[in-house]
Chains A and B, each alone.
Chain A
Amino acid sequence: MSAETAAQPLVRVDGLSKWFDLGKNLFGFGHGDIVRAVDGVSLDILRGEILGLVGESGSGKSTVGKTILRLNQPTAGSIVFDGTDLAPLARRQLRPFRRRMQLIFQDPFSSLNPRMTVGRIVSTPMMIHAPDSSSDERRQRVDELLRLVGLSPRHAERYPHEFSGGQRQRIGIARALVMDPEFLVADEPVSALDVSIQAQVVNLLLEVRRKLGLTMLFISHDLAVVGCIADRIAVMYLGKIVELAPTRSLFLSPRHPYTEALFSAEPIPDPAIRRDRILLKGEIPSPVNPPSGCVFRTRCPYALPDCARIVPELEVVGPGHAKACIRDDLELRPSQHA
């Protein structure tokens, strides 16, 4: 990939919101609450890069992934994929884009049809997107992909239950790659795997990125895993991006108090380290009633009275580094990995 195309964003998300209307129940009761799962998210994903998206449960990170792939209808905002805004497109208009963007799921146990052979699972996208392909072509492509993900062509005749979790995740990756997509969303792809297997799958994703020049959105709650794979990282809290930075810059000099708290909470596999931890109070508030002003202020150790009033915008604080926090006077601690 040449230098000038590498700098172009493949995906450009601007002001993206996804609200879910809880509505009223069968008997007309309920408050008609609205969950603001994603609230005004803007980010670029450059060609060939892996952008990490980190946050705790309820932060809206998975909804961002699904909405970019237009598996959800966005409430507001635009999703420009290679020059075309996907947000207003209808189902039929989206079809040509579907083969160019794929999803890898968290759970390798429930995301593969137990009654299909692996060969059938991996070739299904071809039957949909390339209906003219011959069965020979399909078999050849399946063999090629199984080899690419570290399985053997003879595995094509077997069923998912004959495979371990790590191997099933490889099958899911092969399926995602079969149509030669440009863009992958990997939603917690290693969270359900054993530690010794996680590293294998992370390595595989790095390898396919290198071989195929893929662009990837890697969603995870695990900062250490994201730090190992992502070029840049966006940190989400309660539907908003609170910090966005190149990986190195984020780990060495976080600029948002929530990022600092995440770093501090992470258990470090070294009993010799002295732990001096910032313990956040409470838990992530409900996205039905997000706090006024800065959404993190209710748990923030540095909150000021102004934080309840001012909604902080993402502002640039360094090369490629942006934060949404009104305090510029903070000396925040780096990651314990640093």
Chain B
Amino acid sequence: MQASRAAAHETVLDVQDLSVTFRTPVGPIEVPSGVSFTVRQGETLALVGESGSGKSVTSLAIMRLTAKAPYAVVRGRVRLRDASGFRDLLLLTDEQMRRVRGNEISMIFQEPMTSLNPVHRIGDQIAEAIRFHRDVTPAAAQDRALELLELVGISEPRKRLASYPHHLSGGMRQRVMIAIALACDPKVLIADEPTTALDVTVQAQILALLKELQARTGMAIIFITHNLGVVAEVADRVMVMYAGKIVEQADVGPLFARPMMPYTAGLLRSVPRVAILGERGAALQTIGGNVPDPLTLPPGCAFHPRCLHHQPGRCDAALPPLEQVGDDRAVRCLRWREIGSAAA
């Protein structure tokens, strides 16, 4: 329902063929590799993958926060909509990019403990973000900071303006990070594992807060996570990454109901589900093998050594293209037609 409403909205971020090549002592590593997607106003796109899949580097590259060339070379286009049309963030100067970051596009991170400056008051840290982008008086910035603390549901917000980060719990700090990220009404919020370090009851609070804020402001959210439960909770659309590449892209409902790429299906099967009525101690379904090392990626489809459906001579011969399947769905698997529902 949310997805169809979002479809009426315009694209705010258009990423085309994004690749990042890292120079390492043992050779170049390209993660992500040729990633393309769009995000529309008011929608949440979830980026799902395991460690090393490239989901976090993708978001850092969009924010222009990866290391500089030649240590990391970013290629492709990252076009963000503004009043006059689209601008490619990768073509901006560092100074121009600083005006965009935290203003038109913001980011929150997994670790709310290390993302705040320990020696500055909460209120000053929020006000700093506002005054960097807006020409307002210090008093006006403090007023806006107070408003933001109220918005993100911090109790006794006036008192909290004068608090230091160590006075706050993990959940409260993540709320402050969200307040800073939203200080200038960004069009796009990138949330990189924002609840992974939090307890499950606090995670539920933060997810509810993000949804409420999105409904209020119409911002687009790119939500990076490895937790499929969280994906089901927040996402309109999902992009599954494996070894630096998109392997499946779909609306959240169809993806969970009928995954087409065997990796997606395997991930869904591996989620612990309690077999309450079944036999206790029955083995969980797994994906065999290990997440591949980006330096020694298997030839062909990078997932084939772990894939139940892999065909020798085919899956290990050439990289399958990301094939468009219907309007809003794409899958990277040579055998998706043959496998059909067997993938699920």
Contacts and interface: CB of A to CB of B under 8 A. Distances in A.
Contacts of A84: none
A337 B231 CA distance: 17
B270 A337 contact: no
Nearest to B273: A337
Given A56-B200, A203-B284, A284-B199, A195 B228 contact: yes
B341 interface: no
Residue of A198, A210, A231, A269 most packed against chain B (CB within 10 A): A269
Interface stretch (A66-74, A120-128, A218-226, A320-328): A218-226
Interface stretch (A97-105, A272-280, A304-312): A272-280
B296 interface: no
Nearest to B2: A271
Nearest to A264: B204
A89 to B, nearest CB: 33
A57 B253 contact: no
A269 B276 contact: no
Interface string B259-295: 0000000111011111111001101111110110000
A224 B274 CA distance: 6
Of listed A203, A282, A283, residue having the most chain B CB within 10 A: A283
A265 interface: yes
A265 B203 contact: yes
A211 to B, nearest CB: 13
A51 to B, nearest CB: 13
B2 to A, nearest CB: 10
Given A196-B266, A268-B229, A221 B200 contact: yes
B185 to A, nearest CB: 26
Contact of A196 (B155, B227, B253, B270): B270
Nearest to A167: B290
Contacts of A337: 273-274, 276
Nearest to B234: A267
Highest count of chain B CB atoms <10 Å: which of A165, A196, A231, A272:
A196
Contact of B229 (A200, A227, A267): A267
A269 B228 CA distance: 6
Contacts of B50: 194-197
B233 A228 contact: no
A57 B196 CA distance: 13
Contact of A194 (B51, B231, B276, B281): B51
Contacts of B51: 165, 194
A275 B232 CA distance: 11
A252 B283 contact: no
Interface string A199-216: 110110011011000000
Contacts of A106: none
A248 interface: yes
B257 to A, nearest CB: 7
A194 B201 contact: no
B229 A269 contact: yes
B229 A199 contact: no
B276 A251 contact: yes
Contact-residue size bin, chain B (C-beta under 8 Å from the other chain): 35 or more
Given A203-B284, A225-B272, A265 B291 contact: no
B276 A247 contact: yes
A270 interface: yes
A183 B57 CA distance: 42
Contacts of A196: 50, 266-267, 270, 286-287, 291
A154 to B, nearest CB: 17
B201 A280 contact: yes
B305 to A, nearest CB: 13
A304 B125 CA distance: 40
A164 interface: yes
Interface string B202-224: 11110110000000000000000
A245 interface: no
Nearest to A224: B272
A257 to B, nearest CB: 12
B336 interface: no
A275 B170 CA distance: 25
Contacts of A223: 200
Contacts of A280: 201, 204-205
Given A56-B199, A56-B201, A227-B272, A195 B226 contact: yes
| 7 closest A-B pairs by CB | A267-B229, A227-B274, A56-B199, A265-B204, A194-B50, A196-B287, A199-B284
Interface of B: 50-51, 155, 169-172, 199-205, 207-208, 226-233, 235, 252-253, 256-257, 266-268, 270-277, 280-281, 283-288, 290-291
15 contacts: A194-B51, A231-B281, A251-B276, A252-B276, A261-B201, A265-B203, A266-B200, A267-B204, A269-B268, A270-B256, A271-B253, A272-B253, A282-B155, A335-B274, A338-B276
